[in-house]
Structure 1
Amino acid sequence: MISNILLQPAGEPEGYETQLATLGLEFKYFDQILRMSEQSRRDGMTKDDAKNAPGSQDYFTRVRELRYTLRTELGWHPYDPLQAPLIVNENKTVGIGVLLGDHRTGLSGFPHPRSRRPAGPTKEQAVARNQSLQLSFDEPEFVELDGSQPDADDYALMETWYLLTHRHQARETGVVTVRSELSLPDGVGHGGKVDSYQRRILLPAIKFPAVKDYAVETTGDHVVSVEER
């Protein structure tokens, strides 16, 4: 297992433990998930692997470890509406998936981070349900159920959150920083990308030792691995 260099640098937002607790969660779960996903990038990769193999392994590990951890630790259960993997609490009121964000991920203020890729119809439906649930809370007479997914009635009151992550590899030092947040989206903007959130729980950034053999590309003022999903 990779040991991080720094867990909570100066300037990290406070109060994430309390905010996570309102959802029945603890930061230790997400810390473990992100460590495992970073480790998966570095295990067993050879010159014969596809260049996007580390990013794919990272994604699959985030999904697996998120679901495994909350299933075994808290008794949550997997749910796969239209092949979009989630993990859902016992009351079916909170579901969590994974999403890759841009360089604003984990940073307070505006603009909010955008998803790196278009949300797709399943995530768009989840965001629409988040919106309708918020309206239902504000205006009790308004109720709209999403009947387009399997078991829609069972999951009609479920908010869909995402563990949003951004991985940055410094050009000069090679040190990897993973910023993350657990956020509740309520808007899909230009290009079909998630870009607005009702709530954002900013989590401590985690830094890992340098990686010397991953190809990188420059995107504006930050550097990202080309194989990242």
Structure 2
Amino acid sequence: MSQVVPFRHDEQGNHVQQLAELGLRAEYFDRTVRLGEDARDGATQDDANNAPGTLDYLARVRTLRETLRTEEGWLRHDPQQSPLSVNPDKTVAIGVLLGDARTGLPGNPQPRSHRPAGVAKEALVARNQDLALFPLPPEPPRRGEVRLNDDEYARLATWYLLTYRYEARERGTVEVRSELSLPSSIGPRGKIDDWKQRILLPTIRFKKVFDYADGATDFDVPVEEW
């Protein structure tokens, strides 16, 4: 089980107020990151090499959606297998995304998504730009899910919990930087590289015992020393 190292006070910024303006609380995202890291620890040497990152990603998606559903009455939304949560007013959606080394740091250059956005995320970013309509789901929603009509899509802003994780093995520490950010454009390589608004969240540091190397997945990043 990981032990969280308290973040420095000067890392907090004004994220509490910024999140409150969206009807959100900082502990929702803190919980999401921590439970994702705990899930990663459940992988063993007998699992596939990509198990740690996969378990981490799945736990973050599940935790964030369950938290927003039970605490704030948000609903699940899965356009083209891109898992989101949508607020009761159908004006804000939130997903989970891996960022690069600029994630969680102020100023420029801004962070980029670690992987190309894909068709579903490209459409959602276009929605943020008011440039395109996203097609309606072809089937009725299941219980706990939301269905949006054209007018509701027109005012939907899709944010992402963007995270960056790296390991300082010699110090026995993992650091996860994160932010809740609203993308505005996708670069030539298909990665989100510009953001209308960024809410920087406190860095979380975990004490860690490294028994074996994590495999690379869509939710893993190269090991770095700091």
Q: Which TM-score applies when normalising by structure 2?
A: 0.86
The structural deviation recorded for 1:196 is 0.5
Unpaired stretches in structure 2, ≥5 consecutive residues: 138-147, 216-220
| Matched position secondary structure for 1:224 | coil
Kept in 1, the 8 Å contact 2:126–2:132? The answer is no
User: Is 1:5 matched with 2:5?
Assistant: yes
User: Is 1:33 matched with 2:32?
Assistant: yes
Choose the corresponding residue for 1:62, options 60, 63, 70.
60
**Sequence identity of aligned pairs in percent?**
54
Matching residue's letter, 1:34: V
The structural deviation recorded for 1:11 is 4.0
Deviations 1:108-142 (A, max 9, x none): 0011111110000110111111011xxxxxxxxxx
| Matched position secondary structure for 1:31 | helix
The structure-2 alpha-carbon separation of the partners of 1:88 and 1:214, relative to structure 1 and needing over 3 Å to count, comes to farther
Choose the corresponding residue for 2:118, options 117, 120, 134.
120
Kept in 2, the 8 Å contact 1:97–1:163? The answer is yes
Matching residue's letter, 1:39: D
| Matched position secondary structure for 1:176 | strand
Q: Which TM-score applies when normalising by structure 1?
A: 0.85
**Residues in 2 aligned to 1:224 and 1:111: alpha-carbon distance in whole angstroms:** 20
Matching residue's letter, 2:22: L
Where in structure 2 are the equivalents of 1:194-213 lying within 5 Å?
194-213=192-211
The structural deviation recorded for 1:2 is 3.4
**Residues in 1 aligned to 2:8 and 2:222: alpha-carbon distance in whole angstroms:** 21
**Residues in 1 aligned to 2:190 and 2:11: alpha-carbon distance in whole angstroms:** 30
The structure-2 alpha-carbon separation of the partners of 1:110 and 1:149, relative to structure 1 and needing over 3 Å to count, comes to farther
Matching residue's letter, 1:148: P
**Residues in 2 aligned to 1:214 and 1:19: alpha-carbon distance in whole angstroms:** 39
Where in structure 2 are the equivalents of 1:30-179 lying within 5 Å?
30-43=29-42, 45-132=43-130, 146-150=133-137, 151-153=148-150, 154-179=152-177
The structural deviation recorded for 1:178 is 0.5
Q: Which runs of 4+ in 1 moved over 3 A?
A: none
Task: Name 1:140's counterpart in structure 2.
Answer: none
